[in-house]
Amino acid sequence: MDHGTGISATKPDWTRERIERFWEPGKKMIRAVRRYQAWRGRGALGRVVSKYWVLNHWFWSLMCQSELHLTTEIGGGLRLTHPTGIIIHPQARIGPNCMIFHQVTLAGPVVLGGHVDVGAGAKLIGPLTVGDHAVIGANAVVTRDVPAGATVAGVPARVIAQA
């Protein structure tokens, strides 16, 4: 874990974001965020191109009924397996190679380490930090930090296994 940023230094697996079919709305929404972030602040051409990616992001967000803000810090290799109804706060930070299922909410400044899996319907209410290789169970309500390698479940979420 890089203690300066709170994000794991694990190398991202960019193949997890590769678009292979036309209808992959989660991957296309992530691509729009990445392209917007790459083009913003790059002069006049950057302003024009970034506006295209804002519209592209809006379209895919509408298709998914999800909110993944254009300014959210996202590590490489993010998987939105079923991207419907995902809400991610603009101050949330997502580490590399994370997987977020449908109906997940990251409310407030939530920091996910590397290789974190967040089950369907889970709610993480920050500020809090989730350590590397943690697993958040489906429908869990997380209000406290989660240690690296832990599996948490329940309402409120409690550690049920530790790697």
Taking CA atoms, 62 is separated from 35, 121, 159, in Å, by 18, 19, 35
Domains of the chain (ranges; CATH) run 14-162 (2.160.10.10)
pLDDT digits (tens, 9 = 90+) for 49-94: 999 999 999 999 999 999 999 999 999 999 998 999 999 999 999 9
Residue with tokens 């920050």: 126
Residue 3 has pLDDT above 60, yes or no: no
Output the six-digit token pair for 14: 């960019």
Write down the residue that tokens 């298709």 correspond to.
63
Cβ proximity of 163 and 155 under 8 Å: no
Give pLDDT tens digits for 86-123: 999 999 999 999 999 999 999 999 999 999 999 999 99
The pLDDT of residue 39 is above 80: yes
Query: Can you give the pTM of this predicted structure?
Result: 0.88
